[in-house]
Amino acid sequence: AVRKPIVISTWDTGIAANQAAWNVLSKGGRALDAVEQGVMVTESSLNCCVGLGANPDRDGYVTLDASIMDEHANCGSVAYLERIKHPISVARRVMEKTPHVMLAGSGAQQFAVSEGFPLEPARLSDQAEKEYKKWLEKSEYKPVINIENTKSPTAFAPQKLSDGSWNHDTIGMVALDAAGNLSGSCTTSGMGFKMRGRIGDSPIIGAGLFVDNEVGAATATGQGEDVIRICGSHLVVELMRQGNSPEQACKKAVERIIKIKGSKAKDIQVGFIAINKQGEYGGYCIQKGFSFAVCYADDKNFMVQGKYIL
């Protein structure tokens, strides 16, 4: 039997987001509404890595990326968006109200304001301010490629925490609704202290997020550059189309990154999660410490530790 509705999302912040998505899905609502309302919870919460409370770029500005995709292959995204609280909703407006898929920077902000989204103050959260000041003490303005080679804890990649887990920089969510339709969303502030103008995988359809209503849906978290390199979420969906389970598909995508990165793979983290039309779910990551939240009943909203390769 098909397990539906179901929603899954990245990291432990996924529990609260799933709950909001479940409120939509359990009433027979559309997956698209569920994945939007789900990640809005994370965008509103004070969080290192999603929404306006997140860590800024190297120049001290919070810049946000988000994307959304529905069962008809409609998609929308915003990149490098500043001072707007809910990038995911702006991405949805791009999808629904413009002839385009992606808007970036000041144009995306202008569109958001014209759609009635308030322009929030250009101010860092207290926590982000503190983190930024700390980062500035040692700030290294080096191209990404060099940063990758440093041992500095200010490095570009998601950082490994003392308990062995990784800090999370994104929420990606995919859902199957009661009608059997799939949608997905992804929203992030990107890497903390990134170069100004840097855009990650999250707003790129096929990289950070992909939905094919015949097959399944996938989303990514972790070092966006290496997700983009393999068109990660699209790859996961295509692997499911070839008959792989969601978990196998995520695993094969992770293996491809590891193959490309060689010995450098141990310095980065990437995780994929996916669901298919049957409501099966799975996730895989490069290394230990990635988790995702799964919800398919009022009393079933739980964390799963991502299996890993290295």
By CB under 6 A, residue 190 contacts ligand SD4: yes
Residues 38, 56, 184, 200: which binds ligand SD4 (CB under 6 A)?
A: 200
Terminal CA-to-CA distance of the chain, rounded, Å?
34
55 or 181, CB closer to ligand SD4? 55
Residues 18, 109, 181, 221: which binds ligand SD4 (CB under 6 A)?
A: 221
Instruction: Name residues contacting ligand SD4, limited to 89-108 (CB under 6 A).
Output: none
Q: Is 154 a catalytic residue?
A: no
Long-range contacts of 19-22 (CB under 8 A, 24+ apart): 19/295, 19/301, 21/173, 21/175, 21/295, 22/295, 22/298, 22/301
Residues 36, 82, 177, 201: which binds ligand SD4 (CB under 6 A)?
A: 201
By CB under 6 A, residue 289 contacts ligand SD4: no
State yes or no: 228 annotated in a binding site. Answer: no
Contact yes or no for 302/293 (Cβ under 8 A): yes
State yes or no: 273 annotated in a binding site. Answer: no
Give least dist CB 6 to ligand SD4, A.
22
Residues 82, 131, 169, 247: which binds ligand SD4 (CB under 6 A)?
A: 169
Contact yes or no for 205/94 (Cβ under 8 A): no
Question: Which backbone phi and psi does 93 adopt, to 5 degrees?
Answer: -65, -40
183 or 188, CB closer to ligand SD4? 188
By CB under 6 A, residue 283 contacts ligand SD4: no
In sequence order, which residues have a C-beta less than 8 Å from that of residue 170 and are 6 or more positions away?
10, 11, 49, 50, 186, 187, 188, 202, 208, 220, 221, 222
201 or 212, CB closer to ligand SD4? 201
Residues 67, 187, 202, 244: which binds ligand SD4 (CB under 6 A)?
A: 202
If you write DSSP's letter for every residue of 276-296 in order, what string do you get?
Answer: ETTS-EEEEESSS--EEEEEE
**Tokens 């101010």, residue?**
123
Give least dist CB 71 to ligand SD4, A.
24
If you write DSSP's letter for every residue of 222-256 in order, what string do you get?
Answer: E-HHHHHTTTHHHHHHHHHHTT--HHHHHHHHHHH
* 41: nearest Cα among 20, 56, 22, 25: 20
Residues 192, 206, 224, 289: which binds ligand SD4 (CB under 6 A)?
A: 224
Amino acid identity, position 2: V
Query: Could you say which of 10, 13, 42, 170 is catalytic?
Result: 170
By CB under 6 A, residue 191 contacts ligand SD4: yes
Give least dist CB 182 to ligand SD4, A.
21
State yes or no: 199 annotated in a binding site. Answer: yes
Active site residues: 170
Positions touching ligand SD4 (CB under 6 A) are 158, 168-170, 188, 190-191, 200-202, 221-224
